[in-house]
Structure 1
Amino acid sequence: MDKTMIELKETKEINVAEIIDSVKSDYCGAIDVFIGTVRDNPTGNKVTKLFFESYTPMAISELEKIANSVKEKYQADKVSIVHAIGDCLVGEIAVVIAVSTPHRKASFDGCQYAINTLKETVPIWKKEYFEDGSHWVFSHP
């Protein structure tokens, strides 16, 4: 039974162990996991939180496309992608990607492809909050 996860969740609902478990496979010898966390801004403005907003139906569709691409390009058996929506404090998890493949290189490469593509194509927007204000981060073309 396939229990992979393609989801948008509130930060407090992201369970890394559950996501890793969702991609375990007797067929695979490698699981690579990317965990993106909220960091303080090293440019001088202290980040207090990030806010993620999405166009959910399209975001889920794009995440599914990414997962399917990883399966095709890297012979991944299972791919799970979970991204936070709403408020995320510094240190909290914003995104988790887990990829299982028969061999490690494909798993690493698949994870990297997934996060890079997510950043470019998925309609999830980020607003940074600082001690003295906020602004939207426009990283999509």
Structure 2
Amino acid sequence: MKHIQNTEISYSELFENFRHPQSGAVVLFSGEVRDNNKGRAVTHLEYEAYEPMANKMISEILEEAKSRFKLNQAACVHRVGRVEISGCAVVVITGSGHRKEAYDANRYIIDRVKNEVPIWKHEFFADGTSEWGQNCDCISDDHHHHHNNHHYERAE
């Protein structure tokens, strides 16, 4: 599966094709572009990626999550290029026998993708300025940001 694409992500199509007879829980996370960030009006985002490495890393993260959380299936697709307000930038879908594993795995996958995969976010503001931003909004239980140092305990 190609995990990086430069066309609109159809999460409803991904979700529709995401069925497994042993999955009692399927969780879909969609990262959407919002119209503001830190009090500033946002007009759109642009994403860039080193695609060969990004695809490989996302595949590895998904395989690890499947094993760690006993998933029946897992998928992740991230946009590159221009993404408008309310547009979908990234989707993660996880399916397992029970909801706890599906939710935990989904969070694990998106946090690792945002923290580790070579994808860069360029944010454009209504005042005409722009900034290259941190791609990770990974928040722990104590609400501090973690970049390249988030550790997960292996689920047994």
Separation in 2, partners of 1:59, 1:52: 12
Structure 2 match to 1:31: 26
2:77 equivalent to 1:82:
yes
Alignment of 1:12-51 (within 5 A): 12=8, 14-51=9-46
Separation in 2, partners of 1:91, 1:11: 15
Structure 2 match to 1:138: 134
Q: Which runs of 4+ in 1 moved over 3 A?
A: 138-141
2:66 aligned counterpart, secondary structure = helix
Give the structure with the larger helix fraction. Answer: 1
Give the structure with the larger strand fraction. Answer: 1
Amino acid at match of 2:34: R
Structure 2 match to 1:53: 48
Q: How many residues align?
A: 136
Separation in 2, partners of 1:39, 1:55: 24
Unmatched segments (≥5 aa) in structure 2: 136-146, 149-156
Separation in 2, partners of 1:60, 1:42: 28
Which of the pair has the greater relative contact order for Cα pairs under 8 Å at 6+ separation?
A: 1
- Contact kept in structure 2, 1:28 and 1:103, CA below 8 Å: yes
Separation in 2, partners of 1:78, 1:6: 15
RMSD value over aligned CA atoms?
A: 1.4
Separation in 2, partners of 1:118, 1:6: 14
2:36 aligned counterpart, secondary structure = coil
Unmatched segments (≥5 aa) in structure 1: none
Percent pairwise identity:
34
Amino acid at match of 2:48: E
Structure 2 match to 1:10: 6
State the shift of 1:129 in Å.
0.4
Amino acid at match of 2:68: K
- Contact kept in structure 2, 1:79 and 1:97, CA below 8 Å: yes
Separation in 2, partners of 1:82, 1:120: 15
Separation in 2, partners of 1:44, 1:28: 41
